[in-house]
Amino acid sequence: MGKNVLVIGASGDIGQAIVERLAKDGYQLILHYHKNSEAMTELRRKIKDKGVLSVIQADLSNEKETNEFLNQLVFRIDIVVFASGKAEFRLFQETSDTLMDQMLNLHVKAPWKITRQVLPNMVQQHFGNIIFITSIWGNVGASYEVVYSSVKGAQNSFVKALAKEVGPSGISVNAISPGFIDTKMNRSLSEEEKAQVISEIPVNRAGLPSEIAHAVSFLLDEKSSYIQGEILNINGGW
């Protein structure tokens, strides 16, 4: 029986690349997205719906919708990949309470609740794999992205702590921390701003979503089972 993978944030650039790679690897897929239905339709067409068990829409920055999402998880889940998220670029003192709550719900509380729901089955079968796509800013922080850096740092800490707790139950927990990746999130930068960032990266280019997807596939390989509680940096040496 194939393994079932829940991909949170499947409609984003990195999420789509992960789904394409996992479909190619033969996994069965439960796909989550927020609002980009066109991207989901195109993704399903691209992979010819290979292995897709269900597709669920939900705004995970909203606690009510998160709870409704949890009620729709009817298939066994062996693996979760958390690839959703959004950055906010502004001065910290201009950050509203509402935005703080949304960012905490999306990046921290929703992943907590999803993980809590899927863990009992993983413990029972003595197998599971949980992967977070975090951010370089979760490691080193970024000005004008203080809240985003904070919640990504929380994800990194969650990974390290949970890995110690569930490792004896045969469950792997790790994160991938991308640097500057060619995604919609970074396409708002001007060409001059992009060139400035790339000039600071030793390999002298932006990363590709497919390279993050390759790392996910690597961590899911049974030969990688001794990797536990790690934050895998994929940033070109930045």
Q: Which residues are catalytic?
A: 148
- In whole angstroms, what is the distance from residue 26 CA to residue 63 CA? 32
CB 190: neighbour CB atoms within 10 A?
8
The answer to whether 87 and 150 are in contact (CB under 8 A) is no
CB burial of 193-222 (b: ≥16 within 10 Å; e: otherwise) equals eeeeeeeebeeeebbbbbbbbebbbebbee
Q: Do 185 and 202 touch, CB atoms closer than 8 A?
A: no
**Amino acid, res. 132:** F
Report how far apart, in Å, the C-alpha atoms of 94 and of each of 91, 138, 143, 146 are.
5, 20, 13, 11
